[in-house]
Amino acid sequence: MARLLIQSEGFGNRAIELAMGVNRVGRDSDCEICLDHDTISSLHCELALTDNGVYLHDCNSTNGTFLNGEPALEAWLDAGQILKIGDVELLVESTTVTIAIPKIEVEAPKAPVILENGLNACSQHPEIQATFACTHCTETMCNRCVRVMRRQGGQPLYLCRVCSHKCERIGPVEVKKKKGFFGMLQDTVRLHFKHPRGD
């Protein structure tokens, strides 16, 4: 991480590590880097740590900001330079950004349980045939495990209980036999001639 070392007396060789983004430097205690010195303004300058390095911006300070002895209103910092804020000198030790990406352990999917009839079983109820499978994590579920989202005026949406992605039906699906013309006609006639009292 980008790091500055205070070389002026009275600071005990204090090291300053910059955080990503804008680091305000000044005498005010609200600043991310508070330097209590008479020659430093309440908000003296800003040190912005970016992917490209450290960028210095002077905030109209009273006693100025200097880089290697030269006045600097705005500048990119390099390692080894001397940054002077008021009368306080700092050595620029590093301007690099270190981003630690945590290692995420991904659990391997469990092998599907196969029933005696050769069909997949529910991962939570191995004795029950799975009727749904997740399109994302491949979790297999029975009707009890799958989450159902009712949609107004449309087909229900089946969601995975693990990752909440869409599920699809698997295995044999019971198909209702369609009624023929005479079957529908029989239902219609029965409805029209049914007694009002239900007798």
- Helix, strand, coil abundance in the chain, percent, nearest 5: 5, 35, 60
φ, ψ (nearest 5 deg) of residue 71: -60, 135
The encoded tokens of residue 11 equal 């600071």
Output the pTM of the full model.
0.51
Residue 112 has pLDDT above 70, yes or no: no
φ and ψ at residue 30, rounded to 5 degrees? -75, -15
* Predicted pLDDT of residue 153: 67
Tens of pLDDT, residues 24-73: 999 999 999 999 999 999 999 999 998 889 999 999 999 999 999 999 99
* pLDDT tens track for 113-150: 777 777 888 888 888 888 898 888 888 889 888 888 87
- Band of residue 7 on the pLDDT scale cut at 50, 70, 90: very high
Residue 177 pLDDT level (bands cut at 50, 70, 90): low
Angstrom distance (rounded) from CA 123 to CA 113 = 7
Residue 173 has pLDDT above 60, yes or no: no
| pLDDT value of position 175 | 45
